[in-house]
Amino acid sequence: MIRTVVFDLDGTLVNSAPDLQAAANRMLGDLGHGPIELETVIGFIGNGVEMLVRRCLRHVGQDPQDLGRALALFQGYYARDLTTLTRPYPGVLTLLETLREAGLVLGLCTNKPEKPARDLCQSLDIDKFFQVILGGDTLAVRKPDPAPLRHVVAALGGTAPETLYVGDSETDYLTTRRAGIRFAYFEGGYQRTPIAGFKPDLKVAEMGDLARRILQPTT
């Protein structure tokens, strides 16, 4: 029986890559570099904004050791256009509404910094579904360390055996294995390479199918 559901954000609930790419390319342009393609940026998502910027810099051949200016540029551009191109994946709004109406408790655990995560959810009107929103800078550690996910579950009043975490990446998978929490893998997200020893508890190609899988687990 699942009573608590915690979600990743980027690549799971929302397709945010186009706005992340736009901010990254504006940053790179200010630093004297050409743009990078969307698919390349997608491969850089999942380990927090600092790592995303580092990977962009490495990709264009710039030393990422001096990260300060690049990070400030990226964050400034991204804050101004959080949801210009970002949209929830098909079926997400219905999924969240259905789970809430069924009495499940919902939370968000993302490696995106907490403020842009909250601002993005508010802009897309999905913040109302989550009792807890935790970002990559909320604690001293981020996923795949299990502490953020465990923190969200505890704050929701849940327990590991009754919790499902929904994500799209190797980082999400490793987090759940270390936290002892079941994992539902969204196949339409940003993971582009095979995951070693991958054995998720659920796989869904469309978010609209997840509510049925959670609420009617034998079907």
Tell whether residue 168 is among the known ligand binding residues.
yes
Give phi and psi for 173, each to the nearest 5.
-60, -45
Q: Is the dihedral of CA 14, 191, 164, 156 positive or negative?
A: negative
Angstrom distances, CA of residue 115 to CA of 112, 118, 139: 8, 5, 13
Establish whether 209 is a catalytic residue. no
Enter the tokens of residue 4: 């608590």
Residue in 8, 81, 137, 145 annotated catalytic: 8
DSSP state of 4: E
Q: Is 209 annotated as belonging to a binding site?
A: no
Residue 180 CB coordination number (10 Å)? 12
Q: Are strands 14-15 and 87-88 parallel, antiparallel or unpaired?
A: antiparallel
Decide: 173 and 11 in contact? Cβ < 8 Å: no
Q: State the binding site for Mg(2+).
A: 8, 10, 168
Active site residues: 8
Q: State the binding site.
A: 8, 10, 168
